[in-house]
C-alpha cells in the first residue's frame, strides 16, 4: 500500500498535468488563430526539478508564475504567500497565479485582479476566478504577448 506522502505526490503531479493541459489547449488555439510558426506552447511543461532547485510548478507560460495545488484541505493564505514569493524571486515581473482544487471540484484560480478606486484610478488585489474565466483572460494576454515577439 502506498504511503500517504506518495499518494499526495501523485495527486500533485496529476493536478499539474491537468493544468498543463488547460494551458496547452489555450496556447495552441491562440497560436493557430495567429498562424504562428514559432510555437511557445512547445516549451510548456511541469517543473520536475522544483523540489531540488525551486521554481514554478508549470514552466513555459509567458507572463505567469504558475503554482498548482490539488489538495483536500485548502490553505489559500499559505499557498498564495508561497505563490507570490516564488513569483518575486523570478525577477521577470511575472504575475503570480495559483490553480487549486480538491476532489470532485473544478479548478479555481487565485491571482491579482484590477479593482477601481474612488479617485478614478485602480489597485490590484487578490481575486478568485474559475479556470475558464482565467483561460479566456490568458488567451487575450498571450495573444498580445505573441504579437510583440518575433516569429
CATH of the domain at 143: 3.40.1350.10
> Which structural domain range is residue 98 located in?
4-147
Residue 2 predicted with pLDDT over 80: no
pLDDT category at 54 given cuts 50, 70, 90 is low
How much is the pLDDT for 20?
95
Alpha-carbon distance of 22 to 11, in angstroms, equals 17
CA 90 – CA 50 distance, rounded (Å): 13
CA distances from 132 to 18, 61, 117, 124, 129 (A): 13, 16, 27, 21, 8
Cell 498564495 appears where? Answer: 80
Rounded Cα gap, residues 137 and 78, in angstroms = 25
| pTM score of the predicted model | 0.87
Query: From residue 137, how far is each of 19, 69, 85, 113, 140 by CA, in Å?
Result: 15, 21, 23, 11, 5
CA distance 57 to 135: 17
All cell numbers assigned to 47? 517543473
Number of folded domains in the chain?
A: 1
Residue 149 exposure: Cα atoms within 13 Å on the Cβ side: 16
Distance CA 39, CA 79 (A): 31
**Is the distance from CB of 102 to CB of 75 less than 8 angstroms?**
no
Given a cut of 60, whether residue 122 has pLDDT beyond it is yes
Condensed to tens digits (0 to 9), the pLDDT of residues 62-109 reads 999 999 999 989 999 999 999 999 898 877 889 999 999 999 999 999
Query: Do residues 120 and 11 touch, judged by C-beta distance below 8 A?
Result: no
Amino acid at each position: 500500500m502506498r504511503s500517504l506522502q506518495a499518494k499526495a505526490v501523485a495527486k500533485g503531479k496529476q493536478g499539474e498535468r491537468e493544468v498543463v493541459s488547460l494551458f496547452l489547449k489555450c496556447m495552441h488555439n491562440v497560436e493557430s488563430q495567429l498562424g504562428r510558426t514559432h510555437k511557445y506552447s512547445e516549451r510548456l511543461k511541469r517543473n520536475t526539478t522544483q523540489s531540488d532547485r525551486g521554481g514554478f510548478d508549470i514552466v513555459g507560460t509567458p507572463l505567469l508564475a504558475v503554482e498548482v495545488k490539488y489538495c483536500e484541505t485548502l490553505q489559500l493564505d499559505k499557498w498564495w504567500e508561497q505563490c507570490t514569493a516564488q513569483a518575486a524571486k523570478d525577477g521577470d515581473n511575472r504575475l503570480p497565479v495559483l490553480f487549486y482544487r480538491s476532489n470532485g471540484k473544478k479548478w479555481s484560480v487565485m491571482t491579482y485582479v484590477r479593482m477601481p478606486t474612488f479617485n478614478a484610478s485602480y489597485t490590484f488585489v487578490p481575486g478568485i476566478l474559475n479556470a475558464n474565466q482565467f483561460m479566456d483572460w490568458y488567451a487575450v494576454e498571450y495573444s498580445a504577448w505573441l504579437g510583440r515577439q518575433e516569429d
